[in-house]
């Protein structure tokens, strides 16, 4: 025991003495110069070291402060590398072969500046200088400089910033290294473990890379196996794994291998690559086998255009929308280059969902088409099915599709496309209408990427039967040509396409809000048949309909565009009546639109019209002539921005001229004469009650009222309409009168004589209507003597004949139905509110 203790004391003394002796005997200055010379000889760069210390016990090591490594030789730029502190251990065995192998190198507080010039010269490429055999001399004493080789075995880098600037690719950025562990650096497969962040985005990179001899000018293929994560550990982290080879590691070009990963949002990568301009794809993941990837410095778009793929399995939760179409739950699969490239997705447009399955040739064919921008034709087979078949739920209960399937088969190509379109559905919803037992066929062709033709077009259902051809150019200002033949069209069954979903609600204030209002005619009748009722009635207002103007004016839509569309309808069912041989020809030439002819035949005779809108000049000029012409009243009211008062076929006769690029300008400048008439159809009882007096709703109610006739004729001058004839009858209410309307402001100044009849009895009184079309104010009108007059009883003349004759300007038309003979007792009960 004493001998062992003595031996340990002797060993301790020897080691301590050896350490002190080494510390005294080692020439630290010469060692520093050897290190500087070795770096210069192998890299061509100047290494500067501030404070330098050497330690031998318990293991050879050194420490340095204020270390810098110069930039490219001859450059006046700041040093490429700066480090506040460097610690390292020296491996003993390599010293035998004159190698300074540094192990466990720790760099703290550093800054690494990486730059590539416009000519492609990069400062991370090291070029050793030519050896000249020079020897260092001191005075007359010569000392041979031993050529030591310096290399790193392992290293740790802490708290170091990397500034990157690539002037050739116009890219750059800054990354802060929190911790970087490097091991096995002299081997052919160094290992790295990186934790870093860019701005506030943390990321990691771990794995093996190729040999570092690439830094000294060599360019061997690199085998890489790397795994990266993005985001904090406490949150969901995106991850990517790369296994493969880089044929040209100096230029990061020629990558081949397999990429796997999951990204919650592709835009998350913008935290590290802020200028990548990545699309907004969510839930991206899967596996892709790549080869011949272009240089990363060329940017994401160049990589996507030139990348090779030998297998692919990708899924996306959602992708960016295109023209309102959103893709969700997308998967892309191709097992090998000779396997089919299949794509499945769910497309949503507004409230409609469709499940799409498609095959785009083989993976090899798809790549060839991608790289040549469809210069190589690509066979495709696409099928879209209604939601029920894909397990999805329709989002709009009002628009359910029943067994709907649409398929496209053929080839896509930049120099020629041929696709066969085939679709069918037991019920296909379009807006508020439904096509029953619908079938669609067409041949879609294109001679390039801009001009598209639809040939052998056929659409058939219970509601419509259509054939024809169409062509258009996919340019900024599309040129459209079409010839359409419609065998039959049932607009009553498809009224949801053009009819407003619901009439606007009227706002009826309390009677106490206007105590000075005179009683309406219905109030007089109510007083006569029901003495308990009060006589003071309130004026009424109606809210303006929710009709928003188009975001783009008609002038902007027409200018610079061309088109020629011919439409012929054999038979048309509209509002319970049949029309035949309807013809419309629309020609558009650089903003000049002409609809001539607009013609057809109805029960009342021939229909014709001409519309000319020249938007190629300033101001645009509109003129139209109707002699006569029928159109849906709701559609006309919506286009004119009027309250939805009428529903049914509106007949227009007359000629108008106006100037302007929008609706307001056209209405303010309108001049001409116009007659509007309707036989049959419906009128909104609530709005009608507001026009002739709120108390009229006692007998009219608040819903639609059957309209026997309506005739209005007007002379228009600079936006002021002088209504020389007004006549109508709806249910028990009839009215005649005249007045004026400001078309631009919709201000009213009407003098009406409404009459409510009960069998052979009735009551009438003059009414003055002010306000606007959206908010009319009806008041009982006083005579010249200032007195209010009420006429009770007596038969009244039928207003329909004179009003329709004036509105039609002498042209023929449908006769109104025979006047309905009311039950006097039931009318009294309706007025009392007992019957509804």
Tens digit of pLDDT for each residue in 787-798? 666 676 666 788
Q: Is the pLDDT of residue 517 over 50?
A: no
Check pLDDT > 70 for residue 20: no
Reported confidence tier of residue 102, pLDDT bands at 50, 70, 90: confident
Greater confidence (294 vs 380) lies with 380
533/149: higher pLDDT: 149
What does DSSP assign to residue 702? Answer: S
Helix (H, G, I), strand (E, B) or coil at 662: coil
The burial of 517, by beta-carbon neighbours within 10 Å (0-12 exposed, 13-18 middle, 19 or more buried), is given as buried
Whether the CB-CB separation of 683 and 710 falls below 8 Å is answered with: yes
Task: Give me the pLDDT at residue 514, please.
Answer: 37
Q: Which residues, in sequence order, are bridge partners of residue 706?
A: 682
Greater confidence, 268 or 499? 268
List the chain domain ranges. Answer: 23-118+149-186, 524-535+650-798
For the CA atoms of 778, 779, 784, 790, what is the dihedral angle to 10 degrees? Answer: 100
Cβ–Cβ under 8 Å, residues 50 and 67: yes
Non-local CB neighbours of 148 within 8 Å, separated by 6+ positions: 34, 35, 37, 38, 98, 99, 100
> Lowest mean pLDDT: which of 265-274, 390-399, 586-595?
390-399
Q: pLDDT tens digit string along 136-173? A: 444 444 444 556 676 788 899 999 998 888 887 777 78
For residues 482 and 469, the answer to whether their CB atoms sit within 8 Å is: yes
DSSP string, 768-783: EEEEBSSSEEEEEPB-
Phi, psi (degrees; rounded to nearest 5) at 794: 85, 150
Tokens of 684: 């909104």
* ∠ CA 659-660-664, rounded to 5°: 110
Q: Is 686 helix (H, G, I), strand (E, B) or coil?
A: helix
Question: Does the CA dihedral 410-412-416-417 come out positive or negative?
Answer: positive
- Write the pLDDT tens digit of every residue in 737-765: 999 999 888 899 999 988 887 555 677 88
- pLDDT score for 27: 66
- Which of these, 152, 202, 155, lies nearest to 178 by C-alpha position? 202
The DSSP bridge pattern shows strands 479-490 and 562-574 to be parallel
CA-CA distances (angstroms) from residue 660 to 615, 621, 668, 741? Answer: 9, 7, 9, 20
Total number of residues shown for the chain = 836
State the pLDDT at residue 13. Answer: 42
Beta carbons within 8 Å of 298's beta carbon, 6+ residues apart: 169
pLDDT at 460: 95
Contact 413, 373 (CB under 8 A): no
Spatial distance between the Cα atoms of 748 and 739, rounded to a whole number of angstroms = 8
pLDDT-derived band of residue 362, with 50, 70 and 90 as boundaries? very high
Predicted confidence (pLDDT) per residue in 367-385, tens digit: 999 888 888 999 999 999 8
CA separation for the pair 463, 439 (Å, rounded)? 12
Let me know: does 95 contact 102? Beta carbons within 8 Å. Answer: no
Would you state the pLDDT for residue 488? 95
- pLDDT on residue 234: 66
How far CA 238 is from CA of 145, 263, 270, in Å, comes to 53, 5, 13
Q: How confident is the model at residue 497 (pLDDT cuts 50, 70, 90)?
A: confident
Instruction: Please report the pLDDT score of residue 513 as a whole number.
Output: 36
């Amino acid at each position: 025991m004493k001998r062992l203790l003595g031996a340990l004391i002797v060993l301790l003394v020897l080691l301590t003495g050896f350490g002190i002796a080494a510390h005294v005997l080692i020439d630290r200055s010469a060692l520093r110069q050897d290190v500087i010379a070795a770096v210069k000889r192998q890299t061509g760069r100047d290494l500067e070291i501030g404070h330098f210390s050497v330690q031998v016990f318990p293991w050879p090591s050194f420490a340095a402060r204020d270390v810098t490594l110069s930039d490219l030789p001859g450059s006046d730029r700041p040093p490429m590398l700066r480090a506040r502190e460097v610690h390292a251990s020296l491996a003993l065995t390599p010293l035998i072969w004159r190698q300074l192998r540094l192990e466990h190198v720790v760099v703290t507080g550093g800054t690494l500046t990486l730059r590539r010039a416009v000519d492609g010269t990069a400062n991370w490429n090291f070029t050793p200088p030519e050896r000249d055999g020079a020897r260092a001399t001191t005075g007359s004493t010569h000392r041979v400089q031993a050529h030591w080789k310096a290399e790193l075995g392992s290293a740790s880098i802490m708290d170091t910033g990397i500034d990157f600037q690539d002037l050739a690719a116009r890219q750059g950025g800054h990354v802060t290294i929190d911790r970087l562990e490097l091991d096995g650096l002299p081997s052919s497969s160094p290992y790295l473990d990186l934790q870093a962040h860019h701005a506030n985005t943390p990321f990691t990179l771990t794995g093996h890379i190729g040999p570092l001899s690439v830094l000294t000018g060599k360019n061997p293929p690199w085998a890489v196996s790397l795994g990266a994560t993005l985001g904090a550990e406490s949150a969901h982290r995106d991850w990517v794994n790369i296994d493969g080879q880089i044929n040209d590691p100096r230029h990061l070009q020629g990558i081949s291998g397999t990429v796997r990963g999951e990204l919650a949002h592709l835009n998350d990568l913008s935290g590290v690559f802020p200028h990548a301009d990545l699309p907004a794809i969510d839930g991206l993941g899967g596996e892709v086998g790549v080869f011949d990837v272009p240089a990363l410095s060329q940017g994401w778009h160049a990589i996507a255009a030139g990348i090779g793929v030998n297998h692919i399995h990708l899924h996306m939760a959602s992708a960016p929308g295109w023209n309102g179409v959103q893709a969700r739950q997308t998967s892309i699969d191709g097992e090998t280059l000779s396997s089919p490239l299949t794509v499945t997705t769910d497309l949503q447009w507004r409230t409609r969902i469709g499940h799409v399955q498609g095959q785009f040739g083989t993976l090899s064919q798809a790549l060839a088409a991608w790289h040549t921008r469809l210069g190589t034709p690509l066979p495709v087979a696409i099928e879209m099915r209604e939601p029920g078949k894909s397990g999805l739920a329709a989002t709009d209960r009002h628009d359910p599709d029943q067994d709907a399937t649409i398929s496209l088969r053929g080839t896509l190509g930049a120099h020629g496309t041929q696709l066969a379109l085939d679709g069918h559905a037991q019920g296909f919803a379009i807006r508020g209408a439904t096509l029953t037992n619908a079938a669609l066929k067409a041949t879609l062709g294109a001679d390039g990427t801009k001009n598209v033709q639809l040939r052998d077009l056929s659409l058939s259902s219970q509601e419509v039967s259509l054939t024809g051809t169409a062509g258009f150019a996919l340019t900024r200002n599309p040129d459209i040509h079409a010839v359409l033949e419609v065998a039959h069209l049932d607009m009553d069954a498809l009224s949801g396409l053009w009819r407003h979903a619901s009439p606007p609600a009227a706002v009826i204030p309390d009677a106490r809000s206007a105590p000075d209002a005179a009683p309406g005619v219905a109030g007089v009748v109510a007083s006569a048949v029901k003495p308990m009722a009060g006589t003071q009635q309130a004026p009424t207002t109606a809210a303006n309909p929710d009709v928003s103007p188009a975001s783009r004016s008609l002038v902007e839509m027409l200018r610079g565009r061309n088109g020629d569309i011919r439409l012929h309808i054999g038979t048309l069912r509209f509002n319970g009546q049949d029309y035949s041989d309807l013809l419309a020809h629309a020609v558009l030439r650089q903003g000049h639109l002409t609809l001539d002819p607009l013609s057809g035949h109805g029960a009342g005779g021939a229909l014709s019209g001409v519309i000319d809108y020249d938007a190629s000049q300033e101001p645009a000029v509109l003129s139209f002539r109707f002699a006569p012409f029928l159109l849906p009243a709701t559609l006309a009211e919506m286009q004119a921005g009027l309250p939805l008062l009428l529903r049914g076929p509106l007949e227009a006769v007359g000629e108008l001229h106006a100037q302007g690029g929008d609706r307001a300008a056209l209405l303010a400048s309108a001049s001409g004469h116009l007659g509007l008439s309707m036989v049959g159809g419906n009128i909104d009882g609530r709005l009608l009650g507001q026009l002739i007096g709120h108390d009229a709703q006692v007998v009219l109610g608040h819903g639609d009222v059957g309209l026997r006739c309506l005739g209005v004729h007007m002379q228009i001058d600079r936006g002021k309409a002088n209504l020389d004839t007004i006549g109508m009858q709806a249910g028990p209410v009839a009215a005649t009168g005249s007045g004026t309307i400001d078309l631009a402001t919709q201000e009213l100044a009407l003098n009406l004589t409404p009459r409510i009849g009960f069998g052979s009895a009735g009551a009438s009184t003059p009414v003055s209507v002010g306000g606007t079309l959206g908010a009319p104010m009806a008041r009982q009108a006083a005579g010249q003597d200032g007195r209010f007059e009420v006429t009770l009883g007596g038969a009244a003349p039928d207003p329909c004949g004179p009003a329709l004759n004036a509105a039609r300007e002498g042209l023929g038309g449908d006769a109104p139905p025979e006047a309905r003979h009311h039950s006097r007792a039931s009318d009294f009960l309706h007025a009392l509110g007992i019957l509804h």
